[in-house]
Amino acid sequence: MPPSSPSKPTPPWKASFAAIIQNISDDPGHPLQIALRTFSLCLSLSLSPVLLRAIFALVLRPESFTTHVRGLWRALSRELRPTGFASAITTAVGGGAALQRLWNVLEHRHINSKLSLYQRTFLANALSSTFAIILLRWKRYRRPGTVSPTLDLSLLFFVRALDASVQLLLLRKGRERQVQAPLCNVVASRASSTPPDTRFLDKQSESLAKEWQNKVAMHLDTFIFWAGSARIMWCFLYQPQRLPPTFVKWINSLANIDKRLLEVLRALREGTWSYARGSRHNIVGSLAEELGRSSSWADPAVLPAYGGNFANDTWKQLGVEGRSGIGGMPCEIVHGGIGASFGLQNDCVANTAIRTVYVFARALALNLPVHFLPILLTKPSSIIRPHLALSTLLSAIRSATFLSTFISSCWFTVCFTRTLVLARLFPKISHDVWDGPYGGTLAGSLICGMSIWIEDARRRREVALYVLPRALRASIPEKWLRSRHSVAQFAECLTFIVSLASLLTFSVHHPESLRGLLRWTMAFVMKGPNAGVWKKKIVTCPPTPVEPSTPPLADHKD
């Protein structure tokens, strides 16, 4: 056999490159790994709605599948650009991690910046977030009168950063409240012979501090949702332009209000439609005719503005039943024909009950994937466990009950105000008040938010943090909301940068301040798939015991 040729030595550059790759693969906190996880997560979030629409179109409407596939391709090409959402957020998260690592290297080389580790982290994230907002706004010139393309994202980051700051303050306050308890235990133990277990006291004190924090946070979440939902519902009825169009469409699909009734509410607020002064246009007349009634049932020039005998004479002439002693538009028209197949179209209680069942069915179909999908993605084998499947199903039913109660309570409060009780108690008050912006609709907007108590504390938190950015957007003055003034744009950009930089800094130094899905998301991005719910339990088996070898017997002479 010919002698084998000696192997060629590995070039130095290959060895260095292999060492770098090995270092990256072994370090889940490496900036490149953080960037890859961030990009994949953001890309999936951006493409999921379009992908789901394409899948549903393939099953329900195959003829429109090609159109949805083209939309998916357009969304993919848009997100893969440097100015896409996934690329911009990856620049903020991965770029901040890279700058922190570079800064730490310089610090180790005795280039002292006299900044704390927390300050360096925030400044690095602020710089990378600045590049992110530049990418997101690049060549997205707004037409006059349109809303900023990054406003919703800025408000989302602002709310989450504000929540993290509040939770950190609550946790510190809770720890301060528990400082006296261990001291009292120490003093008491000195009188006895047994010394205190300081480790147990520390754990107990921390547990009590977190319990106090969660209790206060639960009440804050409830108040935030109540106030935010009231503002959102009022704007939905009177100023829908203040809300995102998709959000308005979603609320309308659940509330199921005829658009002509919404036009009447807005005309009442503007003063162009009035029971007392009449109106040139019978906006809801066509709706009354569609329901099989005379258009006079919805004509403000004919309908009584006040209760009493005059109203009873008018109802007798029009053939309206069930409104003796009160004025205003018959509730049969307001209900929009709900319950007509059962002959209950003028029954307010039946209208509320039917709408409750309708919204519950739609909300349950919406909540089942929301509750079961995370389990299928993280622990698919656990879904076959009966107790887990049952608890998840009950949680979905609970969320559907919350949504149905939210909508139905608003409807019932409106009927309670204008028909059932209040208008009957005060017949001399004009129905311009009862049906106006500070009458039944305002009462319904305030009451519906109380349904949040149906949800558990965890879901209450997520719903509150989902509602608050939209409520803030609805509270921004119209001139600022659609302004291209440099001050307004600078304020929004600054909010985006500071909020995102704060969130990234909290995720590194104070992860306990983050809550809910955000805490899981940041743990996954910063620490890799072995963090949070993805973390696998590593079972360490004890080493196999090895019997010690018998030492050789020394030769001994007889």
Place 46 in a pLDDT band, splitting at 50, 70 and 90: confident
376 falls within a domain: yes
- Residue 8: the pLDDT is 58
Residues 398 and 492 placed together within one structural domain of the fold: no
Residues 457 and 506 placed together within one structural domain of the fold: no
3-class SS letters over 383-408: HHCHHHHHHHHHHHHHHHHHHHHHHH
323 falls within a domain: no
Q: Give the separation between CA 555 and CA 557, rounded to whole angstroms.
A: 7
> Rg for the chain (alpha carbons), in Å?
32
Residues 442 and 498 placed together within one structural domain of the fold: no
pLDDT surpasses 60 at 536 = no
How many domains would you assign to the chain?
A: 2
Highest-scoring range by mean pLDDT, 143-147, 317-321, 441-445: 441-445
The distance of Cα 82 from the centroid of its chain, to the nearest Å, equals: 26
- Paired tokens of 337: 């024909």
Residues 449 and 509 placed together within one structural domain of the fold: no
91 falls within a domain: yes
Residues 461 and 507 placed together within one structural domain of the fold: no
Place 551 in a pLDDT band, splitting at 50, 70 and 90: very low
> Where does a domain end: 474, 501, 516?
474
466-518 tens-digit pLDDT: 999 999 999 998 888 887 788 888 999 999 999 999 999 999 999 999 998 89
333 falls within a domain: no
- Residue 493: the pLDDT is 95
Residues 87 and 140 placed together within one structural domain of the fold: yes
542 falls within a domain: no
Q: Which residue has the tokens 């149905």?
A: 404
- Residue 539: the pLDDT is 40
Residues 431 and 502 placed together within one structural domain of the fold: no
333-374 tens-digit pLDDT: 999 888 888 888 889 999 999 999 999 999 998 888 888 777
**Which among 502, 500, 508, 498 is positioned nearest to 100, based on CA atoms?**
508
97 falls within a domain: yes
Higher pLDDT, 59 or 448: 448
Q: Give the separation between CA 516 and CA 533, rounded to whole angstroms.
A: 12
Average of per-residue pLDDT across 227-248: 93
3-state secondary structure of 160: helix
Average of per-residue pLDDT across 322-341: 90
Place 532 in a pLDDT band, splitting at 50, 70 and 90: very low
226 falls within a domain: no
Place 76 in a pLDDT band, splitting at 50, 70 and 90: confident
- Residue 20: the pLDDT is 57
Residues 366 and 494 placed together within one structural domain of the fold: no
Residues 402 and 520 placed together within one structural domain of the fold: no
Residues 414 and 503 placed together within one structural domain of the fold: no
Residues 499 and 364 placed together within one structural domain of the fold: no
Q: Give the separation between CA 440 and CA 446, rounded to whole angstroms.
A: 10
- Residue 119: the pLDDT is 92
Place 10 in a pLDDT band, splitting at 50, 70 and 90: low
3-state secondary structure of 536: coil
115 falls within a domain: yes
* Neighbour tally for 447: CB within 10 Å: 20
Range of the domain at 100: 15-177+488-529
- Residue 187: the pLDDT is 45
Looking at every residue in the chain, the average pLDDT score rounds to: 83
* Neighbour tally for 97: CB within 10 Å: 26
Residues 500 and 414 placed together within one structural domain of the fold: no
89-114 tens-digit pLDDT: 999 999 999 999 998 888 777 677 78
